[in-house]
Amino acid sequence: MTELNQIAKKILEKGKGILAADESTGTMTKRLEAVGVSSSPENRLLFRETLFSSEAMKSFIGGVILYDETIKQKSLTNKKIPELISGYGAIPGIKVDTGAKILANSPDEKITEGLDGLRERLKEYYKLGARFTKWRAVYSISENYPSKLSIYSNAHALARYSALVQECGMVPIVEPEVLMDGNHSAEECFNKTSEVIKKCFDELNKHKVDPSGIILKPNMILPGSGSKKEINTKTIAELTLKCLKMSVPSEVPGVAFLSGGQSEFDAAKNLNSINLINDTNFIMTYSYGRALQQSALKFWAKNIQNVKGTQEVFNQRAKMCSLASRGKWSEDLEKI
């Protein structure tokens, strides 16, 4: 087993998943303002530190994705944030892309940027304690999209990013997110997501990326959020597994899904259904942002001094996700 494979497994194994706390300052500002809290560096840290010091970190969180601002901050107890996280046995990670920008010659689509100077930034993050990284590509579904141009150019960028990250001794999270926005059917999501993921692995292979030293972070196969079509959780799980079996090399150690705008409840329920019928060798777990943080953020906004209360809300959410990653979640457990 290579060192990268070991890191990936340590993050994902034994009912653990990833806390995606790497919202850019712009996104975090929107999240905080939506619950009536002003977005200062102190407030951003206070909320995040509350989560990073919770009991859930020991049993349910194998890795935390940080944003550039946070990885350089110190906790109230004067600990460097990566050290605070490692102290609980979780691995610190870092978002390294610099955001999705308009794709030239296809202005309705996005290309993720951040390759320039990446090798140097990676060395700095490694010194700060990061052992894995994230790069997110986004694709939307409509009649003519995602275009071949966006599928190819984002796959190429993900492959160049992944090669540099492995060169630096870290595990790249490869995140091709086919967005839920739109009226499309689950079948369309299945077709487009399969095409996107296959292209990513074609490019990763061309760039000699070791598939055993990456983590794939895909969307689940769902109908568009504006679609009126009903779908049950078993069908979501079957389509998601079918897509991944067709497009992901067997050497990949694990898949950590994004929540992508699903409710906390649905994100746990659908992950559980996937694990009930998981007939692959891949670990199937979570790398959730909103579906791990939403309730905790709402509680905290009203009770900023109540660290323990906020942590209890987060612990419960993380526990539900962990149970789902082992196919042991049930609706009754949500009510406790």
Residues that bind ligand 13P (CB under 6 A): 20, 136, 175, 258-260, 288-291
Smallest distance from ligand 13P to CB 178, Å: 12
Q: Chain centroid to CA 156: how far?
A: 20
Catalytic residue at 206? Answer: no
Nearest distance from C-beta of residue 87 to ligand 13P, angstroms: 23
Closest CA to 177 of 218, 236, 224: 218
Residue number with CB closer to ligand 13P (271 or 323): 271
Q: What gap in Å lies between CA 115 and CA 104, rounded to an integer?
A: 16
- State the helix-helix crossing angle for 290-302 and 307-325, rounded to 10 degrees: 160
Q: Among residues 213, 127, 206, which one has the least CA distance to residue 166?
A: 213
Residue 240 CA to residue 260 CA, distance in Å, equals 14
Q: Smaller CB distance to ligand 13P: residue 178 or 291?
A: 291
The three-class DSSP label of residue 328 is coil
| Residue number with the smallest Cβ distance to ligand 13P | 289
Length of the chain: 336
CB-nearer residue toward ligand 13P: 9 or 134: 134
Name the CA dihedral angle for 64, 250, 259, 214, rounded to a multiple of 10 degrees: 30
Verify whether residue 335 is a known catalytic residue: no
Distance of CA 121 to the CA centre of its chain: 21
- Taking the complex as a whole, the smallest distance from the CB of residue 259 to ligand 13P amounts, in Å, to 3
Q: What is the DSSP string of 125-141?
A: HHHHT--EEEEEEEE--
Closest contact distance (angstroms) between CB of 27 and ligand 13P is 9
Beta carbon of residue 283, minimum distance to ligand 13P (angstroms, whole number): 17
Q: Which is nearer to ligand 13P, 9 or 31 (CB)?
A: 31
- Look at residues 34, 26, 22, 70 and name the one whose alpha carbon lies nearest to residue 298: 34
Q: How far is CA 329 from the centre of its chain?
A: 20
Is the CB of 27 or the CB of 330 nearer to ligand 13P? 27
β-pairing, 17-20 vs 171-178, is: unpaired
Q: Which of 109, 175, 188, 264 is catalytic?
A: 175
* Catalytically annotated residue among 10, 192, 217, 269: 217
Report the catalytic residues. 175, 217
